[in-house]
Amino acid sequence: MITNYRSISLFGKVLFEKATIAPPFKMQMKMEEEACFLHIRAGTYVSKSPESQVVVDSSESLLMKCGNYLGHIPKTADCSEYEAISVHFFPDTLKRVFESSLPKFLREKSDPQVSMTKFKADQIITRYFESVLFYFDNPDLVDEDILILKLKEIILLLARTSNVHKIQAILSNLFNPRSYNFRETIESHLYSSYSIPELATLCSMSPSTFKREFKLHYKDSPGQYFLRKKLEKSRDLLRASGESLSQVAFSCGFANLSHFSKAFKQQYQISPSQFRLSQLSNT
């Protein structure tokens, strides 16, 4: 549940957001023409993109390029409240703020595969967000000139972090966008625990449209295809790795050991533990 939310806009678009949330909480983020820099002040945030998943803890930051995301704020034993501040980067806003002189690293093409990067917020980034909090607490002091300066400031600070190459790839993507195709998204999540509705969201589709598209590409239903791939991987791991059965189940995206064992036995007519023993006896 969102317990507190405030925002500050520049040129009619949200620039800063501050939210306090009581976990657990799930959300969908569809950023078609923007990037978002998220700074976690308390709690944990799990971000799922079309090709990866990132867990961000308190005092860490996450930069996300335009695209579809699923967000999850879990409830943890050491933190009952989540708090975060975000900065939103719109290409039109950046062009207007920097006029005709965008920083060089924003104009250069870079690796389009990077969609998210997280990093430990150093003292400079932490102090920056403390200064943003000041304007949330003193809205009468906020004006266009100050917001322009604050936007320029965070861009220049990000350009000087140790993650500058990934940051460059994400922010330059605003001016050279690339969309992940359907197969890329599916292949990136073969062994995840994502549900069909979650995968459909990442592909910008309804669940029913997603299932039809999946059938066209893979000649199978999503549930059957993913289960088969997970079981094939689990069989390979049981043959070649020393991982425990629980580790194998987790690595292949099964919700728990019981579900894995039941599915494995139904598919191969032998339990995972018996299969592993049979492989050992053949060596």
- 163 and 234 in a single domain? The answer is no
Q: What is the pLDDT, as a whole number, of residue 103? A: 77
- 33 and 71 in a single domain? The answer is yes
User: In this predicted model, what pLDDT tens digit does every residue of 199-257 receive, in sequence order?
Assistant: 998 888 899 999 999 999 999 999 999 999 999 999 999 998 889 999 999 999 998 99
Pure H helices in the chain: 91-98, 104-107, 123-137, 144-158, 164-172, 182-188, 196-202, 207-218, 222-240, 245-251, 257-268, 272-281
Q: What is the pLDDT, as a whole number, of residue 241? A: 84
- With a cut of 70, list the residues of the chain below it in pLDDT: 100, 108-113, 175-180, 281-283
Q: Residue 250 belongs to what domain range?
A: 182-281
151, 172, 193: which is the final residue of a domain?
Answer: 172
256 within a domain of the structure (yes/no):
yes
- 187 and 168 in a single domain? The answer is no
- 22 and 150 in a single domain? The answer is yes
Q: What is the pLDDT, as a whole number, of residue 163? A: 80
- 76 and 145 in a single domain? The answer is yes
143 within a domain of the structure (yes/no):
yes
- 153 and 111 in a single domain? The answer is yes
- 138 and 217 in a single domain? The answer is no
What total number of domains does the chain contain?
2
Q: What is the pLDDT, as a whole number, of residue 270? A: 95
Q: Which residues of 159-169 are buried (b: 16+ CB within 10 A; e: fewer)?
A: eebebeebbbb
- 89 and 191 in a single domain? The answer is no
177 within a domain of the structure (yes/no):
no
What is the distance between the alpha carbons of residues 266 and 271, in angstroms, rounded to a whole number?
Answer: 9
Q: Which CATH number does the domain housing residue 250 bear? A: 1.10.10.60
- 188 and 164 in a single domain? The answer is no
- 166 and 31 in a single domain? The answer is yes
- For residue 119, count CB atoms less than 10 angstroms from its CB and return exposed for 0-12, middle for 13-18, buried for 19 or more: middle
Q: What is the pLDDT, as a whole number, of residue 90? A: 92
Q: Which CATH number does the domain housing residue 105 bear? A: 2.60.120.810
For 131, residues 6+ apart whose C-beta sits below 8 A from its C-beta are 150
- 149 and 190 in a single domain? The answer is no
105 within a domain of the structure (yes/no):
yes
- 146 and 15 in a single domain? The answer is yes
